[in-house]
Amino acid sequence: MDIATQSIDGGFAEPVFNAQAVFRAIMDAMARPGFVQALPQLARPPAPLSATAGAVALSLCDNDTPLWLDPPLQAEASVKAWLGFHSGVPLANTPADAHFALIANPKEMAALDGFAQGTQEYPDRSTTLILLVDDLASGPSLLLEGPGIEKTSMIAPPGMPRHFVEQWKQNNQRFPRGVDIILAAPGSLACLPRTTRIKSMEA
């Protein structure tokens, strides 16, 4: 399939209702960190962008929100063409300019503090990271607490960034500045807003 066909195929079949369904899953996941939200396959983006991450991008990004792609995604012209055709999203030159970032390979990703953190006056002007993960249960367990969590919750995404727990602690300390993370796994997603504290990590 050539790039032109790939970029046109695989968008939302029902843009209005699919975008709402995906947003609602993200909102509920953001409000209940670590709680895994199921999400049917609503978009079919070209690899290596996953269906879940593609759907999240289509429901949140548009021409107002510069998007940063990590090198594996940056290398795929079809991914850029697909995102451009379906959302009109401009690509950010640096992570610090990005409103959203799509990360296909979280293990090798740039440090969290390299992304936009917002300012003390406007902490909302920060990057939301969309991390593509294989699942939410097979990696090292992260025990979470904070707003949205009644007591504790548990999530175990594999292939997270290096020194993630330490980096996340620093992200917590920057509050109200900081980045928020959407973990996009096949068929499901979960969120780590900047308020969530990782209590412990079991190897």
Partner 1 sequence: MNAQSTDIATYNFAYLDEQTKRMIRRAILKGIAIPGYQVPFASREMPMPYGWGTGGVQVTASIIGPDDVLKVIDQGADDTTNAVSIRAFFKKVAKVDVTTETAKATIIQTRHRIPEQPLTAGQVLVFQVPIPEPLRFLEPRETETRKMHALEEYGLMHVKLYEDIAKHGRIATTYAYPVKVEGRYVMDPSPTPKFDNPKMHRSPALQLFGAGREKRIYAVPPFTEVVSLDFEDHPFEVQTFDQPCALCGAENVYLDEVILDDHGGHMFVCSDTDHCEKRRADGHHGHLAPETHSASGKMEPAE
What's the rounded Cα separation, in Å, for the pair 38 and 198?
Answer: 22
Q: Total number of residues binding partner 1 (CB under 8 A)?
A: 39
By C-beta, is 141 or 195 nearer to partner 1?
195
What mask, x for binding partner 1 by CB under 8 A, covers residues 135 to 174? ------------xxxx------------------------
Interacting positions 58-97 with partner 1 (CB under 8 A): 59-62, 64-65
Tokens representing 166 are 């330490």
Least CB distance from residue 74 to partner 1, whole Å? 23
Provide the H-helix boundaries in 116-203. 164-173
Please name which of 94, 176, 70, 138 lies closest in space to residue 193, comparing C-alpha atoms.
Answer: 176
**Biggest CA-to-CA distance, the chain:** 50
By C-beta, is 61 or 79 nearer to partner 1?
61
Tokens representing 64 are 């107002």
Instruction: Please give the DSSP secondary-structure letter assigned to residue 35.
Output: P
Placement of tokens 């079919």 in the chain = 44
**Is residue 197 at the binding interface for partner 1, with CB under 8 A as the rule?**
no
What residues line the site for partner 1 (CB under 8 A)?
15-17, 19-21, 23-24, 26-28, 30-32, 59-62, 64-65, 99, 119-124, 126, 128, 147-150, 175-176, 180, 193-195
